[in-house]
Amino acid sequence: MGVQGLCTLLENHRDVYRDVRFRQSRLVIDGCNLIYLLYFDSGLDQNHGGEYAAFDALIEKFVKALRDCRITPYVVLDGGSDYTDKKLETVTERAKDRIIRAHQAAVEGSHEGILPRLVKGVFKQTLARLEVPVAKCYGEADQEIAALASEWQCPVLSKDSDFYIFDLPGPVGLLPLSDFKWEAVQGSGSQSYIPCKGYTTSSFCIVFQIQRQILPAFAALAGNDYVKLQRRESPIKWAQFAGPGSGGGWKSSRLEGLLRWLRRFNEPQDAFEAALGLMGGLSEDKKKELLQGLHLGMEEYKLPPSSLKKFFLHGMVPPFPAVEKVAGRVPNWVRLPLTQARLTSDILDVLLLRRNSLNNPVEHGDMPSSHLTSRPLRQLMYGLLLGQGEEVMERDRDGLQINFIPVKAVVPDSCRHLKLNSLDQAEPSLCLQVLLEALGVTEASLSNLPPPLRLPVAATCYWLRSARPRPDEALLKALLLGLSTGDSLRHRAALQIPNHRYGQKLDVGVVHAINQWQSCLRVSIQLNQLLGYPLPEPPIARLFQGTLVHQLVHRMRSGAKVKTFPKKERSSARLYSTMQTVVHQFHSEETSAAREGHRRAPAGAVAAAPRRQPLDELTANLQQLFLLYGDDEEEEEARTEACSQVKVQEDLHLSELVSVKTRYRAKERNNRCRNPELARKEECRGWDLL
C-alpha cells in the first residue's frame, strides 16, 4: 500500500510527533522497511554485489541496542503477491523503474536504491542466529503488523506511510524508523533507552483538524496503491484547497489541500459523494464503480484479529485464507516453513498466480538478464510445485524493458516419485540426489568440504558450466577465496584493501558474472529449502563481499601479486585448494563432454572413460600446498596437510598423482637448504595460491 507524499508532508509538520524515550517494551517491526533502512542509510555499497558481512554486523548491532534497552523485537515480513492481483499494475510500474535505475547505477556508478540480491537472505539468517522471532505473512504484512501491535498494545517500527493511517493504540502508536536513534542509546543499565519520535493518529487529526473516522477516507481519496483517483480521466486538483503558505512540493500541496477540504465532513460516505461531485459529468455506473473502489481502499485500514499472535507465543501456524479460488493450491505442510521464513514466498506466487517476479540487480541494460543462467534450476522448482509441462510467467527484463516470459516446468526422471503434497515426507537421500543432479555434481566430490560450503561450491560448479560468457580464472579464484576464508571483513584487512569506497570504475562484465553467480546460488538455496534441506544452508554473510571480489579480480588481471592467506591460516589455504580441485574437475569434464559431442563415435565402440585433466593441471594445487611449509619443525604437520589434500585427489580418481608429493617436497627442501634466507622471507610474506 502507501500514500504517496504523506511522509514528506509530515516532515513539514513535525508537531505531529512527540519525543519518546523507548525502553522495556515489545516492538513489532516492519521487517522489509528495516532491511532497506539499515542497508541504504548505512552507506553500504549497492553496485558490486553486496556487502553482506558488514550488513550482518549492522543487524547484530541493531538487535543488541534493542536488548540493551530491554526491548523485545518481533519482526514481520511480507510474503507473496496478493492473489487478487489488485497491486499488479503498481508492482509492474515499480519494476520498470527499478530496471532503469539499475542500469543508471551500472553506467554512472551512482547509488540508486537497488538492494543487492542476497540481502534479504542475510537478514533472515542473521535474525535466526540471534534468535529474534520472525514471521513471514502469506501476503502483504501491513495489516498483520498493525493488528499484532494493536492486540499487544505496543508500537510499530516502520517508515511505511500506511502506518500513519492505521488506528494504532496506546500512547505511542508508531515509531518512524527515520527518527529511531538506535545507534545513540542513552542512559545505563535498566534505564537505557532509545531516543525517538512517537506518532498517533489522534495527534495527526488534531494538527490537521479532521475527524478521526475520516482518516482512512483521506488515504483512499489521496490514492494509495489500490486506489488512484487522481489518475482518472477527470482528476481532482486538491492543491487548489491548500491555501496560502503551503509548501513542500506539489505532492504535499495536494495532500494539504485534500486535508483542508475534508475538515467539513464527519462521515466518509459524505466525503466520497462530494469528491465525485467535484469530478463532474460522471454517469451513475461510473459513480458506483468509483465509490466501490474508494470503500475498498478504506477497508485496507481495518484491523482484523491478529493471526500472528498465537504463532509468536505458541508456534501455531496462521490459517491460510479460505478463498475458493486458491483453496487447495497450497499444501498444509508448506504453511509452517513459510511462516518461519524457511521457504521463499516465490513459492506462493507460483502456486497461486503461476507467476514469478524476478527482481533485477544493478546491471547494464545491454547485458542479457543474469536470471537466464539459473532458469533451468527454477524450471525444476516449478516442476516440483506444479508438475511436468505446466507454465509459469517469469517477469524479467529484456534490455531496459520489462517482459513476461512463459517458462515450462520440468520434472526429470529422478523426481517422478516426488509429489508436492508429500514432499516433506520424501526420502532425504532422494531429495539430495535431485538437488545434486540439478547442479551437476556428485556427493562424493563434495564430501571433503565442510558441510556449510557444499551447496555454494555445487552452485559455483553449476554457474561455471552455465554462465555466458564464460567466467575467467581471476573471477573464479576471487569467489573461491571469499568462500575459503569465511570472514571477508578480516580478509579485507589482511589484504590491506580499502573499505567499500571503491575507486575503480564499475566493470560491467564482472558485475554481470557475479550477478549470474548470485542468481545460481539464490535459486540453489531455494531449491534446497523446498527439498527439505538435504544440504545445510550456507551462511551467506560469510561467503561473499562484493567490493572485495571486484578488487581481487582487478589486482589479478592487472598482474599485481595478491597475498591470499597469512601463514597461520593453513586450514583456509587447504580449503581453497580443495575447492579449486572440485570446481576445476567438473569444469574440465564438462568441457571434455562438449568436445566429444562434436565427434561421431564409431559403430560398436566401447564408451570412453571420462577424460581426466592433464597431469600439470591437476597437480598444481598439490604443488602449491607443499610450498606452504618449510621449517623442519613443521615437517609432521606439513605431511598431515599434504595427506589431506592427497585424499581429496584420490576421492576424485586422481590417486596416480600422489607420487608428485615426494618429488616436489624433496625439491623444495633442497632449495630451502641452499637458500635459507629466501625460505625465511617466503614464510614472512604469507601464502599466495594464485
Q: Quick one: three-class SS letters along 63-101?
A: HHHHHHCCEEEEEEECCCCCCCCCCHHHHHHHHHHHHHH
Please check whether residues 504 and 582 belong to one and the same domain: no
DSSP, res 50:
-
70 in any annotated domain: yes
298 in any annotated domain: no
226 in any annotated domain: no
328: Cβ contacts below 8 Å, ≥ 6 apart? none
For residues 311 and 341, what is the distance between their CA atoms, to the nearest angstrom?
Answer: 13
295 in any annotated domain: no
Residue showing cell 543432479? 437
412 in any annotated domain: yes
Please check whether residues 62 and 124 belong to one and the same domain: yes
Query: 415, 501, 369: which is closest to 44 by C-alpha?
Result: 501
154 in any annotated domain: yes
For residues 72 and 130, what is the distance between their CA atoms, to the nearest angstrom?
Answer: 12
410 in any annotated domain: yes
For residues 587 and 549, what is the distance between their CA atoms, to the nearest angstrom?
Answer: 21
| Residue 228 backbone dihedrals phi, psi, to 5 degrees | -125, 60
What the block records as the C-alpha cell of 178 is 527515520
- Residue 687's identity, in one-letter code, is W
Please check whether residues 434 and 488 belong to one and the same domain: yes
CA-CA-CA-CA torsion sign (126, 128, 132, 133) = positive
- For residue 406, whether the previous peptide bond is cis, meaning omega lies within 30 degrees of 0, is no
What the block records as the C-alpha cell of 470 is 564464460
- Please write the tens of the pLDDT for every residue from 41-55: 999 999 999 999 999
Q: How many domains, in total, are found in the chain?
A: 3
Q: Which residues pair with 158 in a beta bridge?
A: 176
Please check whether residues 549 and 567 belong to one and the same domain: no
Please check whether residues 638 and 678 belong to one and the same domain: yes
- Please write the tens of the pLDDT for every residue from 584-593: 887 666 555 5
Please check whether residues 427 and 367 belong to one and the same domain: yes
Report residue 631's pLDDT band, with 50, 70 and 90 as the boundaries. very low
Query: 168, 155, 160: which is closest to 194 by C-alpha?
Result: 155
Model confidence at 109: pLDDT above 80: yes
- Calculate ∠ Cα 149-150-152, nearest 5°: 65
Query: 127, 30, 9: which is closest to 77 by C-alpha?
Result: 30
Number of residues that make up the chain = 690
Which of these three, 194, 212, 230, is where a domain ends? 212
**Inter-residue contact 221 to 229 (CB < 8 Å):** yes
Model confidence at 659: pLDDT above 80: no
Whole domain around residue 490: which residue ranges?
A: 338-553
**Inter-residue contact 480 to 460 (CB < 8 Å):** yes
Which of these three, 170, 186, 212, is where a domain ends? 212
pLDDT (0 to 100) of residue 50: 94
Of 650 and 515, more confident: 515
Model confidence at 619: pLDDT above 80: no
Rounded to 10°, the helix 201-208/215-222 angle is 80
Report residue 638's pLDDT band, with 50, 70 and 90 as the boundaries. very low
pLDDT (0 to 100) of residue 621: 45
What the block records as the C-alpha cell of 641 is 596437510
pLDDT (0 to 100) of residue 645: 45
pLDDT (0 to 100) of residue 191: 94
Q: For 536-653, where are the E strands, in sequence order?
A: none
From residue 462, give the alpha-carbon distance in Å to each of 135, 505, 522, 524.
32, 29, 12, 10
Q: SS3 of 204, please?
A: helix
* Mean pLDDT, residues 168-176 taken together: 90
Please check whether residues 52 and 170 belong to one and the same domain: yes
Q: How many CB atoms lie within 10 A of CB 474?
A: 18
Please check whether residues 73 and 185 belong to one and the same domain: yes
Give the CATH number of the domain where residue 88 resides.
3.40.50.1010
What the block records as the C-alpha cell of 670 is 633442497
* Mean pLDDT, residues 103-119 taken together: 95
Please check whether residues 384 and 351 belong to one and the same domain: yes
Residue showing cell 564482472? 510
- Please write the tens of the pLDDT for every residue from 467-514: 999 999 999 999 998 888 766 555 555 554 555 444 557 899 999 999
Please check whether residues 546 and 626 belong to one and the same domain: no
Comparing 89-98, 140-149, 200-209, 226-235, the range with the smallest average pLDDT is 226-235
Which of these three, 168, 192, 212, is where a domain ends? 212
**Inter-residue contact 437 to 414 (CB < 8 Å):** yes
Q: Quick one: three-class SS letters along 436-501?
A: HHHHCCCHHHHCCCCHHHHHHHHHHHHHHHHCCCCCCHHHHHHHHHHHHHCCHHHHHHHCCCCCCC
- Please write the tens of the pLDDT for every residue from 355-409: 999 999 999 999 999 999 999 999 999 999 999 999 999 999 999 999 999 999 9
Please check whether residues 534 and 573 belong to one and the same domain: no
Query: 563, 131, 80: which is closest to 355 by C-alpha?
Result: 80
Q: Quick one: three-class SS letters along 553-578?
A: HHHHHCCCCCCCECCCCHHHHHHHHH
pLDDT (0 to 100) of residue 366: 96
Query: Among residues of the chain, what percentage have pLDDT more than 70?
Result: 77
Model confidence at 259: pLDDT above 90: yes
DSSP, res 9:
H
Q: What is the mean pLDDT of the chain?
A: 83
pLDDT (0 to 100) of residue 651: 41
437 in any annotated domain: yes
Please check whether residues 500 and 576 belong to one and the same domain: no
